[in-house]
Each structure stands twice: as structure tokens, then as C-alpha cells.
Amino acid sequence: MFEGLDLALAPGEAALVTGPNGAGKSSLIRIAAGLLAPAAGSVTGEGARALMAEVPALDPELSLGAALRFWSGIDGRRMAVGEALAAVNLADLAPVPVRMLSTGQRRRAALARVVASAAPVWLLDEPANGLDTGSVALLEGLIARHRAAGGIALVATHLPIALPQARMVAL
Amino acid sequence: MSVYAAIVLRELRRAWSTGGLALPVVFFLLVAILFPFAVGPDAALLGRIAPGVIWAAALLAALLPVERLVAPDLESGVLDQLAVRGLPDAGVAAAKVAGHWLGFAPALLAATVIASGLLQLPGEALAPLLIALLIGTPGLAALGVATAALVAGLRGAGALAGLVMLPFAVPLLIFGATAGQPGALKLLGAVSLLLVAGCPFVAGAAVRMGRG
């Protein structure tokens, strides 16, 4: 799909991966996450990674709060769920079953899991899909805050997301 | 360790809450009910074939939950999220085996007590049968998870699961149904242990291949 890609991100840096459908944006994110092996070359990284993929990976029959607590429990950060839900404006919906949530709310819930994980490396695959304009601004704010705290963000998107001083990677 | 415990508990919760366990147990009982109708009410004959019938029914019932063991987690991205957190796929599969067995085995053993009554199993034969099921079901659970991982995402996965799983379950059936004979229980344990030890790696490899 793509070759000759050389990208290194230091703390506080971000990269915006753009390209037409099928260019390999999601594959790049999955390779960075360690889920796919690159056909050639290598990926190295320090610190835990948090992935926001196309699918939410939240049990539909559980309440939003309980579904997120499963993951934050695995991350050893059970207490972080409330704050993360507030950060994505979903605090009120914590008792609502995941299956009742709208597409955009599910995307924000997946974002809340990334926030709650406190992983230094964020890998976001089309994070703006299904979000309204207000929520995209929220997403941009969260990424900016993460970078200000020394985090790294690798974002693949076909929708415009404002990432100041981000490296541009066009596939 | 608590990470794997969380996965085991999630398996247990999902098994019961989504009704995924009630169906196999009802199916198991239904097979046991059908046999007296088909064979006739001869108590001696029924009692003699009861262990074999119960093992065959258990094997078929173990096929039913296979479709919900791995495929939903593959589709919803749960397995990817666990892998991103650095958990080995085989470890996740082992936790799934444990969770599946903890849900499936007690339900099956309870249903066996009822089925043994329906099949006129002699009272003194019940305890050996339950012990054999207790030893054999971990292997059956492991085989179920490995099969689920192998067929996840394929069309007609349910039918294919039977073709993949049942041949490997034959040793369990042979040594389980003849558990009263000397040595059979030890061989049953050996087969079960082999499946429990090997199947998580098969399932893990299948999940990894599925990502490519």
C-alpha cells in the first residue's frame, strides 16, 4: 500500500495521516498499534499505546460506565472513568446501556477509553467520523491537552481536524 | 493476574446474561428426553446406553455456544483492544477457556443429574459419570474456544464448527463414555489436559492470522 514512510514522533508531537479511501490509513494505525506486521520495515515505540479504532469494543448490554470500567480496570485505572466521561461530555449517560447510544456518542465513548487509559501514545483511526462540529472541537481540545502533557498522537482522518504544528503524512 | 481474572469474569457474565448458556443446556436435556422415546422404555437397555447418550449429547451441546465465544469479540474489536494492551492472544484464549468452562461445566453437570434420571441410569453409575464429565469438560471447553477462533468470521461458521470440532472430541467421547473401565479415566484426563494445554495456542494463532 505505502512504502518509504519514515516517521518519528517525540513527546508532544502529533502526526496527521491523510489520504484517499483505501490508501492504507487504518492499516498504518494498526501497524503502529502492533496489530499488523509491516511487510517491510519496523515500528518501535516507548510507552503504552491507546487505540481508537473504527469499532467501539464496548459490550452493548452493559451500561456505558460499566463497559468503560472493564477496560480501565485492565489498565489499572478504574478511577479514571468518571473524569474521562466528563471530558467527552458523556457523564450524564454513564448509566445508559451502550446499545442505546448513538453513533457519535459511541465514538466519544471510545475516545473516553483512550483518555482514561493515560497511555502516552494515542493512535486514533478516523476519530472525527460521526462527530458533530462541537464534538470535533472537543476532540481537538483533548488532543491538544494530551500533547501539552507530553503525549504523542497519531491521527488518521479524511475529515478536517485541526492539529497545530502536526506532521502531515499524505499517503 | 487480575487482568485475566477480569476477562474470565466477563466471559462468565456474558455467557449467562445473553442467554448463551441456557440454550445448550436445554438442547442437552432435549436430546436426553428424545432417547427414551426412540429406544423404548426398557429400563435396563436405557441404563446401559445412558453414559454414551449423555456424552454424545454433551458434545453436541458444546457445539452450540461456539459461535458466540470468539467471533463477537473479533468483530467488536475487543480482541484488538486486549492485544494493544500487550496481552498475548494465547493468554486471552486461555482466559476464555477458563471462563467458558466455569459457565458451561456446572450447568452441564446439573443437567446431567436430570438426564440420568430420564435415562434410568443406575444410581451407582451417576457419580463416575459426573466425575468423567468434570474431567472431560475442560478439554471440551478448550476445543470449543479453539474451534471458535478458527471459524470466526467465516460464512457458515456454525456448520463448519461441527466439522472442525467433533473429530477432535472423539477421544473424549470414547474415554468418557467408558469411564467405568480401568484406565479410561486416566486416559480421559490425559486427553483433556492435552486439549487444555494446546488449544489456547491454536486459538491465539488463529486470532493473529485473522488480523492479517
Find, in chain B, the residue whose alpha carbon is nearest to that of A37.
B212
Q: Is A75 close to B212, i.e. CB distance below 8 A?
A: no
Taking only the tens place, the pLDDT of each residue in B23-74 is: 899 999 999 999 889 988 888 999 889 999 999 999 999 989 998 899 999 9
DSSP A144: H
Please say if the pLDDT value at position B1 is more than 70.
no
Q: Of B137, B2, B55, which is closest to residue A72 (Cα–Cα)?
A: B2
> Contacts of residue A49 in chain B, CB cutoff 8 Å?
84
Q: Is B3 close to A54, i.e. CB distance below 8 A?
A: no
Q: Of B93, B96, B128, which is closest to residue B205 (Cα–Cα)?
A: B93
Q: Is B3 close to A49, i.e. CB distance below 8 A?
A: no
**Å from A32 to nearest chain B CA?**
10
What range does the domain containing B176 cover?
A: 2-211
Kindly report which listed range (A39-43, A120-124, B118-122, B184-188) carries the lowest average pLDDT score: A39-43
Rg (CA), chain B: 17
Stronger pLDDT, B45 or A4, i.e. the higher one: B45
Find, in chain A, the residue whose alpha carbon is nearest to that of B87.
A74
A15 forms beta bridges with: A154, A167
Q: Is A48 close to B3, i.e. CB distance below 8 A?
A: no
- Cell numbers representing residue B23 in the block: 440454550
d(CA B201, CA A55): 26
Taking only the tens place, the pLDDT of each residue in B117-175 is: 999 899 888 999 999 999 999 999 999 999 999 999 888 888 899 999 999 999 999 99
Q: Which of A35, A58, A73 sits opposite B211 (nearest CB)?
A: A35
**Count of domains forming chain B:** 1
d(CA B188, CA B150): 24
d(CA A5, CA A38): 11
d(CA A159, CA A31): 21
Q: Complex ipTM, two decimals?
A: 0.92
- Cell numbers representing residue B141 in the block: 471447553
d(CA A85, CA A94): 8
d(CA B202, CA A60): 28
**Å from A140 to nearest chain B CA?**
23
Please say if the pLDDT value at position A162 is more than 70.
yes
User: pTM (2 decimals)?
Assistant: 0.91
d(CA A11, CA B210): 33
- The confidence band for A7, taking pLDDT boundaries of 50, 70 and 90, is confident
> Contacts of residue A59 in chain B, CB cutoff 8 Å?
10, 14, 76
End-to-end, the C-alpha distance of chain A in Å comes to 9
Please say if the pLDDT value at position B178 is more than 60.
yes
Residues B79 and B92 sit within 8 Å (Cβ to Cβ): yes
Please say if the pLDDT value at position A86 is more than 70.
yes
Domains and CATH numbers, chain A: 14-170 (3.40.50.300)
The three-state secondary structure class of A52 is: strand
Q: Which of B2, B6, B76 sits opposite A57 (nearest CB)?
A: B76
Residues B210 and B152 sit within 8 Å (Cβ to Cβ): yes
Please name the amino acid found at residue B100. H
Note the pLDDT of residue A107. 93
Please name the amino acid found at residue B24. P
Q: Which of B3, B18, B77 sits opposite A56 (nearest CB)?
A: B77
Please say if the pLDDT value at position B18 is more than 80.
no
d(CA A95, CA A80): 16
Please say if the pLDDT value at position A44 is more than 90.
no
**Å from A135 to nearest chain B CA?**
23
Mean residue pLDDT across chain A: 89
- Cell numbers representing residue B86 in the block: 500487550
Taking only the tens place, the pLDDT of each residue in A125-159 is: 999 888 888 899 999 999 999 999 988 999 999 88
